[in-house]
């Protein structure tokens, strides 16, 4: 069986399942919300909505990756660029102390409240150091979350690689190095758990040198800091090194334009509807801005900062949570601000319809596969 029903299609099309059922009824097909539909029916429905969407939107604005690129380019060429906070992703093997390090920096205790002490999502926070800000992304170290680590590396300026001094280089340490390298992001090594008896930073350093992370003492250019997230030893030193590295990168952004950003995480909240954690990359995002995010659209309704405080606007490198979307976007989806809600809506709908088209093609594959399976 194909498996898609009116509920699934409604989600893709941003329509109530009941509306889909009604539309199908008008087309002469009787179904309920849960009944799976065959390929012909899905095709028929896709055609109906596709025509509607194509009438409304010009092709190239519905390719929001292009709109995103255009706005990113505009920002890079802008005259009034300003310094922006670095975005730093904390990576490393499971239990090596990433969340504890962030807890220390933020004076919180997230790690104690995590199920099984394991991070399962990317968390985004800002920390003030002297008069500067650093944006931190916490990633899970568990083997199962490789995708999240890859995404974390892609939206960051600097990776802090946490390696426990009593455990050394482990599989996800190596994986994190690979992600950072393929995203061409500089790595700062934080050898953690220096307070533990038997901590052997020298051994860890030797292991990491095999991955071309050569400390300055050995003629390389990788910054190493030996820390204890638990006692706080050398954590300030680590922050200073991050700021130093950020200065070298000369990170700038243009806050005076339409915002672009990336989805860090998204979910459906019972009371608030779709909720998305966004990292603003360029421009300033305002409450009320019409937006397209991945295959969904809406208007920024409530914007909350990393302290849970409502804010009216968000500038580059700021992580915020927004509500007001029509549907739950996916992690790594791009956010783009449009001039008006009408355009945002039609672009969003066109993209949803394209997504449906793709889903339909996948359905075809499934049917073919099934066919071969039975032969
Ligand atoms: P995942 O997110 O699941 O990959 O783990 P994590 O890297 O975030 O590790 P987490 O911060 O949850 O710490 C794992 C355990 O190590 C906890 O029990 C911490 O209390 C402990 N820990 C972290 N840093 C230190 C440290 O510097 N010294 C000591 N002694 N224990 C630490
Ligand atoms: Mg963690």
Say how far apart CA 122 and CA 104 lie, in whole Å: 17
Q: How many residues does the chain have?
A: 375
pLDDT in tens, 109-125: 888 888 888 888 888 99
| Residue 329, pLDDT above cutoff 60 | yes
| Residue 282, pLDDT above cutoff 60 | yes
Please report the atom of ligand 1 found closest to the CA of residue 196. Answer: 30
3-state secondary structure of 315: coil
pLDDT in tens, 232-254: 999 999 999 999 999 999 999 99
Average pLDDT over residues 95-106: 95
- Terminal Cα-to-Cα distance of the chain (whole angstroms): 16
Between helix 39-56 and helix 6-13 the angle, nearest 10°, is: 20
What band does 310 get if pLDDT is binned at 50, 70 and 90? very high
Say how far apart CA 153 and CA 366 lie, in whole Å: 33
User: What pLDDT sits at residue 25?
Assistant: 87
Average pLDDT over residues 203-221: 96
Mutation probe of ligand 1 site: the residue of 89, 93, 111, 199 with most atoms within 8 A of C-beta: 111
* Greatest C-alpha distance within the chain: 76
| Residue 201, pLDDT above cutoff 90 | yes
What band does 107 get if pLDDT is binned at 50, 70 and 90? confident
Say how far apart CA 200 and CA 164 lie, in whole Å: 9
What sign does the dihedral 166-105-107-87 (CA atoms) show?
negative
The percent helix, strand, coil of the chain (3-state, each to 5) is 40, 25, 35
User: What pLDDT sits at residue 4?
Assistant: 84
Q: What Rg value do the Cα atoms of the chain yield, rounded?
A: 23
What band does 1 get if pLDDT is binned at 50, 70 and 90? very low
CB-ligand 1 contact for 196 (6 Å cutoff): yes
Average pLDDT, rounded, for the chain: 90
- Flag whether the ipTM exceeds 0.85: yes
Please report the atom of ligand 1 found closest to the CA of residue 118. Answer: 3
Average pLDDT over residues 269-293: 96
Nearest CA to ligand 1 atom 29: 193
Please enumerate in sequence order all residues whose Cβ is within 8 A of that of 316, keeping only pairs 6 or more positions apart, or say none. Answer: 84, 85, 253, 254, 255, 280, 281, 282, 283, 284
CB-ligand 1 contact for 132 (6 Å cutoff): no
What band does 31 get if pLDDT is binned at 50, 70 and 90? confident
User: What pLDDT sits at residue 86?
Assistant: 97
User: What pLDDT sits at residue 364?
Assistant: 65
CB-ligand 1 contact for 140 (6 Å cutoff): yes
Query: Percent of the chain beyond pLDDT 70?
Result: 93
Q: Which two tokens stand for residue 194?
A: 């220096």
CB-ligand 1 contact for 323 (6 Å cutoff): no
Ligand nearest, relative to CA of residue 140? 1
Pick from 135-149, 185-199, 337-351, 359-373 the range whose average pLDDT is largest: 185-199
Separation of 204 CA from ligand 1 center, angstroms?
A: 17
**For the chain, where are the alpha helices, taking DSSP H only?**
6-13, 17-26, 39-56, 59-62, 64-77, 98-106, 110-113, 146-154, 171-182, 201-209, 235-249, 341-374
pLDDT in tens, 361-372: 776 665 555 555
Separation of 120 CA from ligand 1 center, angstroms?
A: 14
Separation of 266 CA from ligand 1 center, angstroms?
A: 26
Q: Is 95 annotated as a binding residue?
A: yes
Ligand nearest, relative to CA of residue 113? 1
Q: Is 231 annotated as a binding residue?
A: no
User: What pLDDT sits at residue 375?
Assistant: 47
CB-ligand 1 contact for 288 (6 Å cutoff): no
Say how far apart CA 337 and CA 311 lie, in whole Å: 17
Average pLDDT over residues 322-328: 96
pLDDT in tens, 40-80: 888 888 777 766 555 555 556 677 888 898 899 989 888 88
The values of phi and psi at residue 67, to 5°, are -60, -40
What band does 143 get if pLDDT is binned at 50, 70 and 90? confident
User: What pLDDT sits at residue 51?
Assistant: 60
Q: Is 138 annotated as a binding residue?
A: yes
Say how far apart CA 310 and CA 301 lie, in whole Å: 11
User: What pLDDT sits at residue 370?
Assistant: 58
């Amino acid at each position: 069986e194909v498996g898609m029903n009116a509920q699934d299609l409604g989600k893709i099309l941003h329509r109530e399942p009941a509306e889909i059922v009604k539309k199908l009824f008008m087309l002469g097909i009787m179904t309920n919300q849960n009944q799976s539909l065959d390929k012909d029916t899905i095709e028929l429905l896709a055609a109906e909505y596709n025509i509607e969407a194509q009438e409304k939107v010009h092709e190239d604005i519905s390719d929001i990756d292009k709109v995103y690129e255009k706005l990113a380019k505009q920002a890079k060429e802008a005259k009034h660029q300003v310094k922006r906070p670095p975005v730093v992703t904390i990576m490393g093997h499971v239990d090596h102390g990433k969340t504890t390090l962030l807890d220390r920096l933020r004076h919180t205790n997230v790690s104690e409240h995590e199920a099984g002490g394991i991070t399962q999502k990317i968390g985004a926070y800002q920390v003030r150091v002297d008069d500067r800000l650093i944006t931190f992304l916490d990633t899970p170290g568990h083997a199962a979350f490789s995708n999240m680590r890859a995404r974390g590396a892609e939206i960051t300026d600097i990776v802090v690689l946490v390696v426990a001094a009593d455990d050394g280089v482990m599989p996800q340490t190596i994986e994190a190095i690979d992600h950072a390298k393929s995203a061409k992001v500089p790595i700062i090594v934080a050898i953690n758990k220096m307070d533990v008896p038997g901590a052997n930073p020298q051994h860890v350093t030797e292991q990491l040198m095999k991955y071309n992370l050569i400390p300055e003492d050995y003629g390389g250019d990788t910054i190493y800091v030996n820390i204890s997230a638990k006692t706080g030893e050398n954590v300030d030193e680590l922050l200073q090194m991050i700021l130093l590295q950020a200065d070298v990168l000369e990170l700038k952004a243009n806050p005076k334009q339409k915002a672009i950003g990336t989805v860090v995480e998204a979910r459906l909240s019972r009371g608030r509807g779709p909720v998305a954690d966004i990292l603003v990359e360029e421009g300033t995002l305002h409450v009320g801005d019409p937006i397209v995010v991945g295959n969904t659209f809406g208007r920024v309704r409530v914007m909350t900062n990393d302290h849970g405080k409502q804010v009216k606007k968000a500038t580059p490198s700021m992580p915020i949570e927004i509500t007001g979307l029509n549907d739950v976007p996916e992690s790594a989806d791009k956010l783009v601000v449009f001039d008006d809600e009408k355009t945002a809506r039609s672009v969003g709908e066109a993209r949803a319809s394209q997504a449906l088209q793709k889903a339909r093609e996948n359905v075809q594959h499934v049917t073919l596969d099934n066919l071969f399976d039975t032969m």
